[in-house]
Structure 1
């Protein structure tokens, strides 16, 4: 089903295209200067995840972060890669290398949520 692009969807997509890290809903609300309500942002994020434009990762802090899908296609939506969350600035970054996990016979992986925590290079320089 083709969904129509609204000014709100375009604004959210442009926000992700201009950021290099994953964003949580609270950050999105702040960056959009509260131009749309929380429910609208939630619906847009859900729609973008369903359409393969974004993927969601649960951070080490229990908060959902969303990142732009860069190599996914409609028929091939996959994002089995690790994410890195900085313990100081809380930024969540998609790591590019795809992971391969050998599961026991009969098991099929549909999604992988792996978060590595530590200190990012930017925060490591600030001591």
Structure 2
């Protein structure tokens, strides 16, 4: 059964694609205003994760952030990279280098959540 592409889904997807950083459900809610309710945003974001369109990042604040995936699919959805949160501006970015974590024999990795806090290149210019 094919999933319907609704106007709401397209609004959320366009917002994620246009964002240069990972965004929370709350950020999307502020951006979309009253056009889309909170529960719908949450449901659509989770379905996008299942479909390999976005990946979910657990921030150091306990909130989930969502970043648009490049070169992912539902069958191959792996993000073994660090995420960086700027302590000044608050943006969360996916860092480009993949991380290869060597696990003990017999262990198999499913997810990876590496998180680094510091100052982005724009904010660190003020130091």
Decide: shared fold, TM above 0.5. yes
Deviation at 1:106, TM superposition (A): 1.1
Match of 1:51 in 2: 51
Q: Note the alpha carbon deviations across 1:9-53, whole angstroms, 9 max, x for none.
A: 000000011111000011000111231110000100010001110
Please report how far the alpha carbon of residue 124 of structure 1 lies from its aligned counterpart in structure 2 after TM superposition: 1.4
C-alpha displacement of 1:121:
1.0
Please state how far the C-alpha of 1:74 moved relative to its aligned partner: 3.3
Which consecutive residues of structure 1, in runs of 5 or more, have no partner in the other structure? none
How far 1:73 sits from its partner (Å)? 2.6
State how far apart, in whole Å, the 2-side matches of 1:105 and 1:2 are.
40
What is the TM-score with the length of structure 2 in the denominator?
0.94
Q: Which residue of 2 aligns with 1:94?
A: 94
- The question of whether the paired residues in 2 share the 8 Å contact of 1:57 and 1:64 is answered with yes
Farther off after superposition, 74-83 or 93-102 = 74-83
Which ranges in structure 2 are unaligned for 5 or more consecutive residues? none
Is the partner of 1:97 in helix, strand or coil? Answer: strand
Q: How many residues align?
A: 127
Cα deviation, residue 75, structure 1? 2.7
Residues 77-118 of structure 1 show CA distances to partners (whole Å, capped at 9, x for unaligned) of 111111001111111100111110100011100100000110
